[in-house]
Structure 1
Amino acid sequence: MTPDTDKSPADEIGFKPLYAQVRDRLVRRLVDGTWAPGMPLPSEMELARQLNVSQGTVRKALDSMTADNMLIRRQGRGTFVAEPEESRILFQFYRLVPDVGIASFPDSRVISHGSARATKAEATALGIEEGGDVWRIERIRSLAGQPMLVETITLPADRFPGFGELTEIPNNVYRLYSERWGITIASAGERLKAIAASGRDARKLGCEKGEPLLLISRVARDLEDRPVELRWSRCISRDLHYSVNLR
């Protein structure tokens, strides 16, 4: 490999620690597709040579990216770009756990998907103009065949050209975003609120109108911290709870 040539004045030592600057430059390789999902990374020694920093600085940058689930370390094999189907990645963004038993990832059935105009709430969350073009997906997610949440996903149309041409939307949409549009979901913020089931949601979930539901509103962001997905999940919580570990 040739030494890294994507340096700019902003890459030089400044307010950020050196390892954080190195991390920024390595993240750029994920953003621009130089490093694709599943791809093995060069050794720490080679990266240190390319970036003209110490191996310890590179290791600290890689550790930070691994902690954020951008990379996966495999014992005896090296470091790889994380793929969205990795179980640890899936559960990073899925926090509903059964009250009894082992956590599992739900199946999904798409009810509808197509183009729409962004509502004020969607536009605010996604950083686009109200009335702008979006793709909107509604699906039901189930565990062991039992519907447990109904979900509405909104995507900015300009980030996902050709989405409307899809004949099938897979359960793991984050993998779809990565493989087809090169968009990696790096982080997400969620807000939780108790609501009562509407008649529409009750019919889809097979519950009583007015039954307590947990509303989870999520804005997912890419590697450059730009919002790329708004998701509303209305969940029956009688046998589930929302679990998060604080550190």
Structure 2
Amino acid sequence: MSTAPNNPISSAASGAGAGLTASGSSPTFSPLYQQIKALITQSLQSGEWKPGELIPSEVELANRFKVSQGTVRKAIDELAAENLVVRRQGKGTFVATHHEARAQYRFLRLMPDTGEPHYADNKILEVKRLRAPAEVARLLDIKSGDSVIFIKRVQSFDGAPTIVEELWLPGVIFKGLTAERLVEYKGPMYGLFETEFGTRMIRATEKIRAVCADDGTAELLNVKPNTPMLSVERVSFTYGDRPVEVRRGLYLTDRHHYQNELS
């Protein structure tokens, strides 16, 4: 475990957009718990605590950052609400991981009209390295023509092809990702990214619209051309609000629906 900086709150000022006043008595721009939240996030990003690991207790963190336990608790409450950490009653607080069962449906919002949600069967159609198209490069915040990994797959539920997806990943991060590795890996794709490439998806933005299936998509999903579908474009981000995935999916919704929770 790395050692804490001599003045952790001050060193967080640039990352949190705030610092203490000269007297050290009160924050200048953001609440103190927000500065503690930024420091804990820095430790998560640096890998001081790995996905699935127990982080120090509130008391230990309060001593480390020289703040009250209540301040630490409020910071962790926000991190838990953002799915960066997970509280477990009687056990402590753990770094969230995509390998947790509850996390595996966080980014898949397509739910069955009847029955319980369950994992899809994946058929990898294509994996190749190519130069980023201009629009993909813009979304990934890289240069047009930079290396990206392109993945195309079909996801099926109960044997029925339901989703066609195309993914673009920054080549510099996902070196060594191959079709063979994707096929042999039996867990969630984001779990693979987390475990083998050190990249955890923290949040995502999505654009959703109604479209009609083109001939190629219709053939892959065993439906007629022009069948109504849901088009979902997702950009996923890791720590530091860094975009690390563009995903475009076409969803059949004859037996499924897109479900979201608003708060």
Q: Please report the TM-score for the alignment, with normalisation by the length of structure 1.
A: 0.94
Aligned to 2:250: 234
Aligned to 2:169: 155
Secondary structure of the 1:163 match is coil
Aligned to 1:123: 137
State the Cα distance separating 1:206 from its structure 2 match. 0.8
Task: Give the aligned residue type for 2:248.
Answer: W
State the Cα distance separating 1:2 from its structure 2 match. 8.2
Secondary structure of the 1:228 match is strand
State the Cα distance separating 1:203 from its structure 2 match. 1.1
Aligned to 2:81: 67
Does the 8 Å contact 2:12/2:39 carry over to 1?
no
1:213 partnered with 2:229? yes
Q: Which moved more, 1:5-14 or 1:122-131?
A: 5-14
Secondary structure of the 1:49 match is helix
The whole-number CA distance in structure 2 between the counterparts of 1:144 and 1:42 is: 42
State the Cα distance separating 1:103 from its structure 2 match. 2.1
Secondary structure of the 2:180 match is coil
Does the 8 Å contact 1:149/1:236 carry over to 2?
yes
Q: Please report the TM-score for the alignment, with normalisation by the length of structure 2.
A: 0.89
Task: Give the aligned residue type for 2:203.
Answer: S
Aligned to 1:193: 209
Change (3 A) 1:205 1:118: same
Structure 2 counterpart of 1:173, from 189, 212, 220: 189
Following superposition of structure 1 onto structure 2, how do residues 1-247 of structure 1 map, counting pairs within 5 Å? 4-5=4-5, 7=8, 8=11, 10=13, 12-13=19-20, 14-164=28-178, 167-169=180-182, 170=185, 172-247=188-263
Q: Which moved more, 1:55-64 or 1:172-181?
A: 172-181
Q: Which moved more, 1:31-40 or 1:176-185?
A: 176-185
Aligned to 2:24: none
Change (3 A) 1:122 1:3: closer
State the Cα distance separating 1:104 from its structure 2 match. 2.2
How many residue pairs end up in the alignment? 246
The whole-number CA distance in structure 1 between the counterparts of 2:65 and 2:94 is: 19
Does the 8 Å contact 1:3/1:49 carry over to 2?
no
- Greater RCO structure (CA 8 Å; 6+ sep): 1
List runs of 5+ in structure 1 lacking aligned partners: none
Task: Give the aligned residue type for 2:255.
Answer: D
Give me the CA root mean square deviation. 1.7
The whole-number CA distance in structure 1 between the counterparts of 2:134 and 2:214 is: 21
Task: Give the aligned residue type for 1:211.
Answer: T
Question: 1:30-80: CA deviations, max 9, x gaps?
Answer: 111101011111111011000111100111111111111111111111111
Does the 8 Å contact 1:140/1:151 carry over to 2?
yes
Question: 1:188-212: CA deviations, max 9, x gaps?
Answer: 0011011111111111111111111
Question: 1:107-153: CA deviations, max 9, x gaps?
Answer: 21111101011112211111111222100001111111111011001
Identical counterparts, % of pairs: 36
Change (3 A) 1:9 1:42: closer
